[in-house]
């Protein structure tokens, strides 16, 4: 387990992030929703929109970088943390394993389809399209279409 010491500042920041997360599903239009995600620490480029039902990591929203003119649609989930199972063994509770944190980058002009899940450490290339319900576990090249679980590139535009 990690020995992260919590400071008053880190606790207040965590409360702020979670309060905004509770408010976001009740916001509209997408410009307001996107603004609130920026207040949470998500880096969002000009012209990008985040749907109010998208869930962006509460633990480390500052590790999410969304480029310009990106559309994050309904029900999308973007995660920046997961359990480190490298030391997992019989008799160990998964909850006792440490978390590992990795950023997510969504480059300019990408489109994330309804209900897609973006896992920690992934980069989605410029102009890439992620299909509805896809689970993205590895990098997606620019101007590609990726679908499925796990997401696989089915088409690349030249």
Within a domain: residue 16? no
Confidence grade of residue 73 (pLDDT, cut at 50, 70, 90): very high
**Residues 9-49 pLDDT 10s:** 989 988 999 999 999 999 889 889 999 999 999 999 999 99
Describe the strand order of the beta sheet including 135-136 as a list of residue ranges.
Answer: 55-56, 77-78, 117-118, 135-136
Within a domain: residue 134? yes
Confidence grade of residue 87 (pLDDT, cut at 50, 70, 90): confident
Residue 109 to residues 63, 78, 125, Cα–Cα distance (Å): 19, 17, 9
Within a domain: residue 11? no
Cβ-based neighbours of 2, under 8 Å, separated by 6 or more = 98, 99
- Three-state DSSP class for 96? helix
Domains contained in the chain, number:
1
Cβ-based neighbours of 49, under 8 Å, separated by 6 or more = 30, 31, 33, 34, 70, 71, 72
Within a domain: residue 114? yes
pTM as predicted: 0.91
pLDDT recorded at residue 1: 42
- CATH number, domain with residue 31: 2.160.10.10
Within a domain: residue 141? yes
What is the percent of the chain where pLDDT is above 90? 87
pLDDT above 50 for 130: yes
């Amino acid at each position: 387990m990690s020995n992260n010491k919590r400071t008053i500042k880190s606790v207040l920041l965590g409360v702020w992030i979670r309060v905004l997360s509770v408010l976001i599903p009740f916001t509209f239009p997408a410009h307001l929703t996107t603004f609130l995600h920026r207040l949470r620490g998500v880096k969002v480029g000009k012209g990008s929109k985040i749907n109010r039902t998208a869930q962006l990591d509460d633990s480390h929203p500052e590790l999410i970088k969304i480029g310009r003119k990106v559309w994050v649609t309904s029900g999308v989930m973007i995660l920046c943390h997961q359990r480190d199972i490298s030391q997992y063994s019989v008799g160990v509770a998964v909850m006792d394993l440490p978390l590992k944190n990795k950023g997510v980058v969504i480059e300019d002009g990408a489109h994330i389809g309804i209900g897609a899940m973006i896992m920690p450490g992934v980069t989605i290339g410029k102009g890439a399209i992620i299909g509805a319900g896809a689970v993205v576990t590895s990098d997606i090249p620019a101007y590609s279409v990726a679908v499925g679980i796990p997401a696989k590139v089915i088409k690349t535009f030249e």
